[in-house]
Amino acid sequence: MLDGIMTGISTAVLPINLFMVFIGCFVGTFIGMLPGLGPVSAIALMIPITYGLDPASGIILMAGVYYGAIFGGSTSSILINAPGCSSTVVTAFDGYPMAQKGQAGKALALAAYASFTGGTISAIFLLVAAPMLASVSLSFQSADYFALMVLGLTAVAAFSGKGQVLKAMLMTVLGLMISTIGTDRSSGVERFTFGNIDLMDGISFLLLAMATFALAEVVMAVLKRDHLKEEENQTDTSAIGSMKVTAEEVKEVAPTALRSSVLGFIVGVLPGAGATIAAFLAYGMERNLASAKEKLKFGTGSLRGLVAPESANNAASSGSFVPLLTLGIPGSGTTAIMLGALIAYGIQPGPRMLVDNPDVFWSVIISMYIGNIVLLILNLPLIPYISKLLMVPRTVLVPMILFFAITGVYLVSFNTFDIYMMVFFCMAAIGLRMLNFPMAPLLLGFVLGGLMEDNLRRALIISDGSLSFLWERPITAVIMTLALMVLLAPVLRNFFPKSRSKSTSVTSAEAN
């Protein structure tokens, strides 16, 4: 472990990697502030740039963009009540009321300190938890990997809203289907290419990510025409107020930041949970722990109500790297994109990554410490100036993103067919979004499809074509049981409330 940490430090402190941390945090902060984009779109836009970089530098850049976007998403939540991403929705509950009271500077400063605390604590936990999980999982075989991927795919319920579990599962299946397009890597047989030479290599991961997230997000924003009111958009930076936080306020919110950071990391480690769920849970926990007098402040400008979700969502963003790096299971749409980028580099995330690519493994973790310091240094002095970015007209922003997305996809293959395909997938994604189908499960199924097929094939060869490999090994059996429980959880969750309501109605009828 010490050798690995030293390897990570020596890699992370290279000038190019320090520069990548800075650029990633800087770009992520700005993109995260723009309402509607968020970390998924931010990383999708960064992928074309990372293809020309060393694997360690590329992943460090994307990691910086990830937690930078989570960090920066709070700015628009606090200033104009327009969350930069879903994980900062809860921040607006108490952050925006503080801004309305003339305490925007204090709210932004508290959000920055809370984000730093959550990111730092989770990075320390990550340093300890990652190698422990990796050492346990070194005994994994193909059957276990297949079971893990099934578990990852069954966690799609986290990507969906209430009552949309079936839609999320259908999108996962669609992603698996798209992943089969192209030439079979084992037999060399063409599948679903319809005789088109351009489809022989399959659908590009970058193409699908850009089409379903960055491109579709921009087009949806134009279609919705949900631009902000002029008076809201023109934030007066001179009225942001003091950024000073008193000793009493620090004493009040410090326990909240620590509790929420630990909770956020635990939630982030769970595949399929993510920063949004962590933020809501932390806010709910703090409200339940608060006194009756303090509870009344929640929703009207509570300091604890602001610090809790900001600590939790940043801790969860670092915690999501545990299943990604040690098990190869992405816990969110963002880490699914990073999984695809790692595979594009020829790196297989999972138990062997600690042995085969220790420089990448440890440098990403070490870079998180550096990244949190960079984010704090960037955000505090630049708060009055950063807020001016929120006044960038949509008429300028939309063409820039469209240009970057189309150019990025074209420069990877230099094939105009990919641009046509991207437009096709973008149109399909817009139609599916209008029907409230989530996009993250589609990308997750696409990313895991090839790996899942390869491990299933190897497991079937070892077991002479029998499905007994699913229960012969204890590890495989346990993981498959967990996957079944996760799959049935939404059904049972919907069933029991109905049962309780029926029993309550029967009891009240008898009483009458």
Q: Does 129 fall in a domain?
A: yes
C-alpha 249: how far from its chain's center? Answer: 31
Q: What is the pLDDT of residue 232?
A: 43
Listed residue (91, 137, 131, 138) closest to 110, CA to CA: 91
Helix orientation angle between 55-80 and 333-344, rounded to the nearest 10 degrees: 160
Q: Does 511 fall in a domain?
A: no
Q: Does 512 fall in a domain?
A: no
Q: What is the pLDDT of residue 428?
A: 92
Count structural domains, the chain. 1
Distance, in Å, from the CA atom of 412 to the CA atom of 49, rounded to the nearest integer, reads: 10
Listed residue (133, 39, 491, 58) closest to 324, CA to CA: 133
Distance, in Å, from the CA atom of 389 to the CA atom of 412, rounded to the nearest integer, reads: 30
Judging by DSSP bridges, how do beta strands 182-183 and 190-191 pair with one another? Answer: antiparallel
What's the angle, vertex CA 395, arms to CA 392 and CA 396, rounded to 5? Answer: 55
Domain that holds residue 278: 2-505
- Phi, psi dihedral angles at 296 (to 5 degrees): -65, -25
Q: Pull the structure tokens for residue 299.
A: 């929703």
Q: What is the pLDDT of residue 63?
A: 85
Q: Pull the structure tokens for residue 24.
A: 């990633």
Q: Does 254 fall in a domain?
A: yes
Give me the sign of the Cα torsion angle 271, 278, 233, 104: negative
pLDDT tens per residue across span 215-260: 887 787 777 665 444 434 444 444 566 667 778 888 888 888 899 9
Q: Does 227 fall in a domain?
A: yes
Task: Please classify residue 293 by burial: count the beta carbons closer than 10 Å to its beta carbon, then call 0-12 exposed, 13-18 middle and 19+ buried.
Answer: exposed
Q: What is the pLDDT of residue 215?
A: 81
Residues ≥6 apart with Cβ < 8 Å to 155: 270, 271, 272, 331, 486
Distance, in Å, from the CA atom of 313 to the CA atom of 418, rounded to the nearest integer, reads: 35
Distance, in Å, from the CA atom of 385 to the CA atom of 22, rounded to the nearest integer, reads: 18
Give the CA-trace dihedral at 56, 62, 64, 68, to 10 degrees: 180
Q: What is the pLDDT of residue 424?
A: 93
Question: Model pTM?
Answer: 0.64
Q: Does 65 fall in a domain?
A: yes
Residues of the chain with pLDDT under 50: 158, 227-238, 504, 506-507
Please list the alpha-helical segments (H only) found in 180-246. Answer: 205-209, 216-224, 230-233
Task: Please classify residue 379 by burial: count the beta carbons closer than 10 Å to its beta carbon, then call 0-12 exposed, 13-18 middle and 19+ buried.
Answer: buried
Give me the sign of the Cα torsion angle 359, 364, 370, 374: positive
Q: Does 119 fall in a domain?
A: yes
Instruction: Let me know how long the chain is.
Output: 512
Q: Is residue 415 a contact partner of residue 198, using CB atoms and an 8 Å limit?
A: yes
Q: What is the pLDDT of residue 229?
A: 43
